[in-house]
Structure 1
Amino acid sequence: MAKRKIAGLRWWIIGVVMLGTVLNYLTRSSLSAAAPTLKEQLHISVEQYSYVVAAFQACYTVMQPVAGFILDSIGVKIGLAIFCVAWSLSNMLHGFAGNWQSLAFFRGLMGMAEAAVIPAGMKSVTEWFPAKERSIATGWFNIGSSIGAMLAPPLVIGCITYFNWQTAFLVTGGLGFFWVALWLFFFRTPAEHPQITEDERQYILNGQEASHKSDTTKPSIKQIVSRKEFWGIAIPKFLAEPAWQTFNFWIPLYLSTVRHMDLKSIAMFAWIPFLAADLGCIVGGYLSPLMMKYFKVSLLTSRKLVVVTGAICMLAPAMIGMVASPYTAIALFCVGTFAHQTLSGSLITMSADVFPKSMVGTVNGLTGMSGYLGATIFSLIVGVVASKIGYDPLFVCLSLFDVIGAVVVCMMIKSSSSPIIPESKTEVATA
């Protein structure tokens, strides 16, 4: 019996991808929500906490290009399912940590597994969406990162309050297994999915660049890193990612140690910046096509304008140290998370605009590695500087980083750039 066709199936697909991103960032953000409790019960200092955070980021950094290459090689369906099982198990193992060293070890394992989520999401977008809808789809799946971070404080602190901190990690990790079953059941490529309408299949195909329609070339890291366009994405990612990782891992600890908020107040307010980040994902996704429509700019120019808009808004967190009220500080964090997700979605999407489909996972892995390298270095700096001179100079640096990154994007990504055709196809075409 033939399966019923589903109109607009691509949006259902991206919904499942978004749910996986939610669970990925829920497990990722569980540590920061539990940080005040872990500091007390495991006797962890601020500097040791920075080592735990850096362990995740370092392993994530190293694994991102590997994960992207695996996804390009074996496909996003099986690849992401394997990685999700791995990050769920490693998060549950956090509950068995007895000191900061074991916590850092389990955190490193999870970093290796979670490195696949953004390359997988972007690869799914590349397969399922025409070029003009990519930023919108990226915004919707990327919203999962904010929702996951938003859900972590109330869920984790609720588990700690009614049970213990170990239960928090078991619950947040266990949810991933339900998603894997849904993913394996529902996900296919447009060419293989039995529930896609022929009209939608043709709409997707006709809206993609020539390099995406029939591209079967194996990803070449050498070819990718030799392109100026790659560095036009990788350098801004290196500069932008420290802000998001600081928001994810340090907001609850900052509110506890600097603003002297108790655990209940943190649970009530620490999720709000990530609600603002959700709005940033959506607004950033729609800004690009709106700019193309109303300002008549090219696809890549619209992407760059979104990055510039986000970078300007990122100046707000620089003022966090100047305000007396913790609630005003939270409001400035909200502007920062909104701004970061607005520009981040555009940077992620650019890889599919200038590289062929077969390379998107690898490109995203490499640019993600660049981003997490910056985040790892910055986290280690936070651990040393925050305990000695405070957080205020660090917030100023985060704002300036994104402004510099926007300048790099504008200089290195040409608005007239067309998708890069793999060398092997160019040679065939000219033979």
Structure 2
Amino acid sequence: MRPPQSIRRMRVLLLVLLLLIGIINYVDRSTLAIANHSVQDEFGIGPTEMGLLLSVFSWAYAFAQLPAGGLLDRFGPRKVLGGGLLLWSVAQAFCGIAANFKQMLFGRLFLGVGEAPAFPGGAKVVADWFPRESRGLPIGLFNTASTLAPAIAPPLLTWLMLSYGWRTMFVVAGVAGIVLALIWFAVYRDRGQLSAEPGPAPEPVSLREWLGLLRHRSTWGMMIGFSGVIYSIYLYLTWLPAYLEGERGLSVADTGLALVVPYLAGTLGMLSGGGVGDLLVRRGVPTMIARKVPICAGLLLGGLCTIPVALTPSTTLALVCISASQFFMNNASAGAWSLATTVGAERITASLGSLQNFGGYFGGAFAPLITGIIVDRTGSFVLALLAASGIAIAAALSYAFLVGKPVGLTEEPAPVR
């Protein structure tokens, strides 16, 4: 049955807002990667300290996932997602006025805490507003922010940095997020406020139920597997500009342009990852298998594409393989988030998604630090890239063999259509 016009309008509006929030989220993550060398020079730090600055965000982000999912399921995306957006935007602006390494570290920590509700919150919104069999494409659209932003950010942020300095770049990004947070608070409404027959509100997730999710093998498979997704994606997100400048000899301006293609490829991967899962579900493939296909294939192929990046002397071939890796890894990322919205009841979507994201970023947080240490010790990215390839392939096996049964699935009122 075709949903009411008010529901259709709200779905479109929410996807636009979620996409903008996701773009701001990833722009803010990208600023330090763009300013890598400038910050190192001003603060007098080396690759290991820079790796710590890049990684502390991910550790804070990972551990903040644990309460974020339960808070989203209990208090809703308007308060929790909006509050997180406001917090991380203030932290981003603070990084622009940081006087030393310790203050920058402090700002990066709160940036990670504030960003934690963003993607579980997006999954929660999609689960609330879209039917179960059609959530892959909205999830993919929302998650394209993670590739569109890195495609948009390098030339824009590079221009801001070269024109006005790296500090102004941080402050401008922070102010943009504060404005968007105010819009979110003004616009977002719970679906029950627009539905003619909203049905009874689901019971908030209790601590006992939340802990019960950890008794499922599938939950652990998702957590372990997603760490491989994030490790590979975050290695490129945080170190790719420095890799292209230091290892491949590109200028700052050329690097800003060269980064566009890999992230556009990632956008296509994100869209296809969600859409392929939806198509397989509509063709009658069991939901769990349908959602796992793009994840496992993406991780395996993305890991294999990383090997020639490490070994080829050709910068052109390296960029082609980086683009292919971004396509497949983001294919897996979209599939993973679609999996989180369909293998459990709507009332635990954010909790399950945040646990998967916690596992992803707890493991993925080591990518910038390990890469920095390897580059410091060897003077090359070769071993770091080969390690990322092996981790991606291992993550594919985790999804394939550990993720099997639905997680905590209970009878629920049908989602609004």
Map 1:121-132 onto structure 2 (within 5 A). Answer: 121-132=122-133
Q: Deviations over 1:199-234 (max 9, x none)?
A: xx89xx9xxxxxxx8632424222110111211211
The match for 2:259 is 270
With 118-127 and 8-17 compared, the bigger mean Cα shift is at 8-17
Q: Deviations over 1:301-335 (max 9, x none)?
A: 11111112202321101211222232322221111
Q: CA deviation at 1:190?
A: 2.2
Letter in 2 for 1:335: A
Q: CA deviation at 1:405?
A: 1.7
Q: CA deviation at 1:102?
A: 2.1
Q: Deviations over 1:138-193 (max 9, x none)?
A: 10100111122222211221111111111100111111122123222322222213
Letter in 2 for 1:26: V
1:332 aligns with 2:333: no
The SS at the match of 2:202 is coil
The match for 1:186 is 187
| Aligned with residue 401 of structure 2, among 366, 390, 411 | 411
Distance 1:298 1:224 in 2: 21
RMSD: 2.2
The SS at the match of 1:176 is helix
Change (3 A) 1:99 1:394: same
Q: Is the 8 A contact 2:33 2:237 kept in 1?
A: yes
Distance 1:410 1:307 in 2: 9
1:261 aligns with 2:262: no
The match for 1:218 is 205
Map 1:49-88 onto structure 2 (within 5 A). Answer: 49-88=50-89
1:400 aligns with 2:387: no
Letter in 1 for 2:311: M
The match for 2:350 is 361
The SS at the match of 1:96 is coil
Q: CA deviation at 1:121?
A: 0.7
Distance 2:286 2:333 in 1: 19
Q: CA deviation at 1:358?
A: 2.1
Q: Is the 8 A contact 2:147 2:267 kept in 1?
A: yes
TM-score by length of 2: 0.91
| Aligned with residue 307 of structure 1, among 278, 295, 304 | 295
Q: CA deviation at 1:89?
A: 0.6
- Equivalent residue pairs, number: 405
The match for 2:172 is 171
Q: Deviations over 1:373-424 (max 9, x none)?
A: 112223321121122222112212222222222222122223xx456246xx
The match for 1:420 is 408
The match for 2:232 is 243
Q: Deviations over 1:335-383 (max 9, x none)?
A: 1111111001111222222222222222222221111111222332112
Change (3 A) 1:402 1:110: same
Distance 1:241 1:10 in 2: 28
The match for 2:415 is none
With 37-46 and 6-15 compared, the bigger mean Cα shift is at 6-15
| Aligned with residue 342 of structure 1, among 301, 311, 331 | 331
Letter in 2 for 1:332: C
Letter in 2 for 1:407: L
For structure 2, the residue ranges without an aligned partner over 5 or more in a row are 413-417
The SS at the match of 2:143 is helix
With 27-36 and 394-403 compared, the bigger mean Cα shift is at 394-403
Letter in 2 for 1:44: I
With 276-285 and 324-333 compared, the bigger mean Cα shift is at 324-333
With 378-387 and 76-85 compared, the bigger mean Cα shift is at 378-387
